[in-house]
Each structure stands twice: as structure tokens, then as C-alpha cells.
Amino acid sequence: MEYSAQQFDIIVIGAGVMGSSTAYQTSKRGQKTLLLEQYDFLHHLGSSHGESRTIRATYPDDYYTDLVLDSYALWEQAQSEIGYKVYYKAHQFDMGPSDSESLKAIIAICRKKSLPHRVLNSQQVAQQFSGRIQIPENWVGLYLDKGGVIKPSKAVSMFQTLALKNGAVLKDNSEVKEIKKTGGENDGVLVVTASGESFRGKKCVVTVGAWTRKLVKRVSGVELPIQPLETTVSYWRIKEEHVSDYAIDNGFPSFASYGDPCIYGTPSFEYPGLIKEWIEERFSGRVDSSEPVMTQLCMYSMTPDEDFVLDLLGGEFGKDVVVGGGFSGHGFKMAPAVGTLLADLALTGETKGLDLEYFRIGRFSDNPKGNVKHY
């Protein structure tokens, strides 16, 4: 039998962290899975590469808090199966002006979800971190243990390896050009690549990041408001005499700042020895703020409301094609939970334990800006 004639239960298009996590989940459930990637595996053109991502349960929307809390356990489960770590525990520290609506919403959700936390004023922050972090007098800090750092390239590789171990077929340099509905209602789809190879699948999951809008419109005519946005991850050098102060194994947290600009960061970990004005003010001159020692580009896929798209494509495809996209720069930490949800959607047409109301494609028909935010 020719390879191109093979039949699969699930075809996952896009092998970033979301697609790789989905392939891991479907193959783990005994589904014959094909994972396709348009570039080399572990390429640096999307948003699933690099040395660090934060994981935090502090969100102003409780549906994300639930996804993160689920993901903590799922990261540990996958690690136990592969035998090495990609998720490293740390505390989380959020900071911002005391009148920040986002920060107030986050604190309210910590209370609602009974997440142990402490709200600190500027003097308490200086005391908590022995002067390593300084915030203005009109700011507050939120300190809790639900933080951490994930190694992204290593994490993607982990999911791909586990999928392969579970019998999945992995194929890179295979850009998908067409997804066609085949035959009757239950006959599935035909996926065709730029090289002319074709694969049949009972179900298909599209997780192509910044390329989501283009591919979905080509195959279905549906216009998703997902906009690619190139952003920069910067690494800063800690001054030599303070290197240990900001190390993950010395208790320094992952952090988020809700002032202007909005900043997310990790302890010194992947590049020992971690904008400019913010660095100087918050870290008390212990970090060299003259310039970053290294930068990496990261391609976000932004929705107007910065909420994900997790839904059945519908139309002629019915329940045969699932779309996961628009992760808006904050999805990586939730990849294990998202992969589970996308696998559920593909296999059963619904999800267990999570209402996808906020992630539906149809929300943009009701309001071009998507979900209404109150912060």
C-alpha cells in the first residue's frame, strides 16, 4: 500500500505544542494518528520554541485558571511517562498598580478558587524578596505557589516522542494545502499536502498557530479574526555578584507585571544570568539594563479578545474538523489541557468538564470583538 493512501483515525495538522499535545492524547487513546508539520519539527518560526515559558494560575478569567490547574497535573503525568522534566516548579508573583482592574480580578479569582495567596504592599514585597524586587508605593503584589517555568522546545519534543511511542506517524516538511470532505456523512476528510501526498482521516484537528486564518479560509471560506503578531523574548544579564539572587533554585518566582508595559518573566534558569527602565526599577540595579544579552522572536496568533478558538469548524465538515488556534501569546502553559480538549472534540464532538462557550468560533458573529471583558 502506498503511504499516501493510508487511512488514519485522526490527522493533526501543525506540530507545535498544541498539535503535538493533541497527537499525544489521541494516540494514547488508541487512535491511529498522523501528525503533519509544514516545516522541520521543532522549527523556530512559530510560537512553540525557545528556552522558557511561564506557567501561572493567576488569570482574571476563571476559565483559564481551571485550564492551568488541570495542566499542572497533566504536565507531571507526561513527564512521568517520558522520564525527564520540562516543567519546573516556582512561586508566582504578580504586581501592578493597586487600582489595576486585571490585578483586582485575579485576586478575586484566587479567593473564589481557594488558591492560597498573599497580597503584599510595597514594603512587604521588599521584605519578602530581600530587596530583589521593588515596586512603587501605589502598587501591590500577589504571591502564591502556583507558578513555574516550562522548557518549550523540550516540551514539544516530549509530546512528539510520546505520540510516536503510542504508534503515531509523524511527518514534517508537509504543508497542507487542502482539506476536503469525502463521501457520506461519516466518511471523514481528505488532507492534501503541497507535494501532492494525500491522507484520509476520520477526523482532523487544525492547530497551525499564526497560519490558522489562512488555512481555515482556504478550506472552508470561514474568516477567523486571528492576527499574527511577532513579539520578542528578551534575556537580561544579572550582575555577577547577584547571579544567585534571581535563580529558580534560590526561590525567585516567575512573575507578571500589570503596569504599563505588561511584562511576564521567569527566574534565572535557562540562561544563568537573565523593558530596560522597568528592569532597572524593579530589580534594584542588580540586573544589567543596558541591553538584553539575547533575544528570540516568537509569533503570536492574536484574537480580538485574546481568548482561544477551540471549536468544531462546522459547515460542510460537520464534526469532522476541529480548530485550535488564537492562543494570543498565553496558551503554552495550558497545552496539556488544550490537547485533551481538542482530542475530546475530535473523538466525541464535545468536551468533558469544560464549557467551551468562551472559545466558540460563533462569538465573533455576535460581536466582532469577541468576548466582552470587564477589566
DSSP per-residue letters across 304-325:
TTS--EEEE--GGGTTSEEEEE
Our separate counts of H helices and E strands in the chain read: 9, 16
- Residue 123: what are its φ and ψ, rounded to 5°? -70, -40
Please check whether residue 23 lies inside any domain of the structure: yes
Q: Distance between CA 334 and CA 79 in Å, rounded?
A: 15
Residues 6+ apart with CB under 8 A from 291: 276
Rounded to 5°, the CA angle 262-303-163 comes to 95
Q: How would you classify residue 30: left for phi > 0, otherwise alpha for psi between -120 and 50, otherwise beta? A: left
Q: Does the pLDDT value for residue 21 go beyond 70? A: yes
* Angle at 77 (CA atoms; ends 76, 83), nearest 5 degrees: 80
pLDDT of residue 2: 38
The tens digit of pLDDT for each residue in 116-169 reads: 999 999 999 999 999 999 999 999 999 999 999 999 999 999 999 999 999 999
Least confident of 39-48, 53-62, 136-145: 39-48
Q: Enter the pTM of the model.
A: 0.92
What pLDDT is stored for residue 169 in this prediction?
Answer: 98
**Could you tell me the residue range of the domain that residue 10 belongs to?**
1-52+151-226+303-374
Which residues contact residue 123 at a Cβ distance below 8 angstroms, ignoring those fewer than 6 apart? none
| CATH number assigned to the domain comprising residue 22 | 3.50.50.60
Quote the pLDDT of residue 186.
57
User: Residue 259 in 3-state DSSP?
Assistant: coil
Question: What residue type is 52 in one-letter code?
Answer: S
**CA 61, 352, 81: angle at the middle one, nearest 5?**
95
pLDDT of residue 191: 96
pLDDT, one tens digit per residue, over 270-311 is 544 447 778 888 987 888 888 887 788 888 899 999 999 999
User: Per the domain annotation, does 291 fall within a domain?
Assistant: no
Please report which helix (H) or strand (E) contains residue 75, including its range: helix 62-82
Which phi-psi region, left, alpha or beta, contains residue 138 (left: φ > 0; alpha: ψ -120 to 50)? alpha
The CA R_g of the chain, rounded to the nearest whole Å, is: 21
Q: Do the Cβ atoms of 42 and 17 come closer than 8 Å?
A: no
How many structural domains does the chain have?
1
Q: Is residue 75 one of the residues assigned to a domain?
A: no
pLDDT given at position 4 = 45
